[in-house]
Amino acid sequence: MQKYIDEYTILAEAKMMYQDCHETYILVEGQTDKTFFDVLVGRQSNVRFRPVSGWERVHKTILLAQKERFNNILGIIDKDFHVLLHDGVTENNQLFFTDSNDIEMMLFNSVSLEKFLAIYADQNKLNAGEKPRNRILNAASCLGALRVVSLVNRYNLRFDGFECKDFIDRNTLLPDSKKLIKKITQRTISNGTSVSVTEEVLESQASDLMQVYYPHDLCNGHDVLDILGIAMTKCFSSLPATQYNPDTIFGYLLMGYSDNEFHETQLYNKLTMWIQSNA
């Protein structure tokens, strides 16, 4: 139902809640983001974190609010590839980015990952290879680079619902870029969208990006948590494949994410200052 609510409806709702209930809306992309902020900022009587189904709707609502000079509303969206692509979506006094590409990446880049692995992973397996975080980032950046290539060149490749197990070797966590590209192009075509570029060109363009950017600049948090779940079945532990998925891992990482770490982020400092001035 949320996806049918447009920016005009959301802004009207925010104005009504502010005028009638003295409650300030902070718009976030989805329920996962709301959970993150409810846990770390806490539920406050005069502030509500409102999920609105996607960054575009957050962005459009804030632009409309600024046009109408309504200052008592804030939007928080994933940094994603906005900075990398210079796509015109920028931070301002009513729109903030996450420090990492998204909320999941903020958790993954924190000490919370080490806590999770210390409790649930097999330490002998962890110590057998490269650092766990680097192994996952290197694997996920392959998919992230392809996402960026698609956005930059407007190839309109279809990634929705794609699972990393389709191109990641469970035994090594090494990605197979050829298999990845073939799976994505087949998925795109089967959804009725033509692919105007060869698989060889896609592979070359993605490889070039991976030479220019650090892995964490290309990684999507959902992909990273998906690969972490795969790693827990073989590389980092020997658990059933059904034990962990991105949603359950998000919950574990959030529980291990400390207030102190969050308080050191740019997002927290901007958010608290904004609440003090506008809520």
Q: Which whole number is the average pLDDT over 26-50?
A: 93
**What are residue 223's phi and psi, to 5 degrees?**
-60, -45
Q: At what angle do helices 177-190 and 132-153 cross, to 10 degrees?
A: 40
* pLDDT surpassing 80 at residue 43: no
pLDDT tier, 1 (very low <50, low <70, confident <90, very high otherwise): low
User: For the chain, how many residues are written?
Assistant: 279
Extents of the domains making up the chain: 2-101+260-278, 111-256
Percent of the chain with pLDDT over 70: 99
Residue 59's pLDDT is what? 98
Residue 69's pLDDT is what? 98
pLDDT tier, 3 (very low <50, low <70, confident <90, very high otherwise): low
* pLDDT surpassing 90 at residue 89: yes
* pLDDT surpassing 60 at residue 149: yes
CB-facing half-sphere around the CA of 260: CA atoms within 13 A: 3
> Cα 139–145–151 angle (5° rounding)?
150
Residue 5's pLDDT is what? 83
DSSP string of 197-250, one letter each residue? S-HHHHHHHHHHHHHHS-HHHH--HHHHHHHHHHHTTTTS----TTS--HHHHH
pLDDT tier, 201 (very low <50, low <70, confident <90, very high otherwise): very high
